[in-house]
Structure 1
Amino acid sequence: MDARQVPSLDEIFEQVCECRRCPLAEGRTNPVFGAGNPEARVLIVGEAPGKNEDLQAIPFVGAAGKYLDELLGIAGLAREEVFIANVLKCRPPSNRDPRPEEIQACADYLRAQTRAINPEYIVTLGNFATKFILRTDVGITRLHGTLQRAGRFKVFPIFHPAAALYDSKKRVALEDDFATLGRLLVEGM
């Protein structure tokens, strides 16, 4: 793809739907693409989609999705005001963690989504998304809540909402980090 020519989200979605030949798509109901406002200031990048996301073909449903909606409220946002994408469009059917070469096979779709949306902030949820976007081995425990740079994008690593469902310390950290995100958006930093 020509770097100057950014495809539309519809074109990217068509390409994602055509990736059925990939072994990762075997047994999947739907490729999980992304959802939300294509003109959003905030792109939220989650982990590889799970079973519920696969069935509904949208990211962040279930308990973690409900909690994400609460967290967005803390930042002064609603789901309709952000765009939510996944690092990997199809988690392997066995639900195991994807291998690096599998992630790489899906990386172009996420890069294309990022360019099409062109957000001011990219919020990475969890280790997987953070390491992928920042191309680092440094974990989320060290990076969460600290504004980073990836090219022209401001990246804000945050714990994954699912982690907070079982860990009250991460819940406090997540709520503080989303409050910080809200302040950054208001202040325009």
Structure 2
Amino acid sequence: MTGRKVFSFLIVALFLYIAPPLFIPVAFGAIFAVLFFPAFEFLQRKKVKSSFAAALISLLVTHVFLLPSALLLFVGARTGLQQLGGLRDVPIVNPGSGGGAGHPGFFENLVNTPGLHGLFVSLSKSFPVEVEELVHTASDLAKGVSLRFADFLGDLVTRLPVMIMGMVIMVLSTLLLSRRWKTTHSVCARQLSLRLSPD
């Protein structure tokens, strides 16, 4: 008997260790089930079976909210990685540009715009800093920001399978909670009325 209790305790502990990442998709599924419960009641008034109505609501949530969000997230992350990869390959400041050799770098072209060039010139006049030093400092800052953003997008892409699994769990929880919401709501209402009713 003690061995069974220990085994049950280990199973519960393992479940509590694994389950927390799944709580958020289940919670969102419950939110969608509550939000679309009027549509579920409308379908039931039209003599639609509860299982079929819950499946329709789950398909609606999937095609209207989840799939477009996942597609936009994937396309945005992929496009951002491509743009940042191209930006990383382009020289930010061309070392040979002072002598006129080669093509100007990306950040050199950006600095040569009238607004930024005037800003750097005014800063060099206000502070004891040369324009070239300001350009190199700003280029290092821009490269650091772009690398950090690329790391963030790469981490986001690697997490896509986990996010897809979370969306699947969200759809399943919406389906199950939509089917059981009426029963759960009636039981909770009955218990609440019993507690509030005078003896």
- TM-score higher than 0.5: no
Q: Which has the higher strand share?
A: 1
Query: Which protein shows a greater Rg?
Result: 2
The structure carrying a bigger helix percent of its residues is 2
Q: Which structure is higher in RCO with an 8 Å CA cutoff and minimum separation 6?
A: 2
What TM-score does the superposition give when structure 1 sets the normalisation length? 0.22
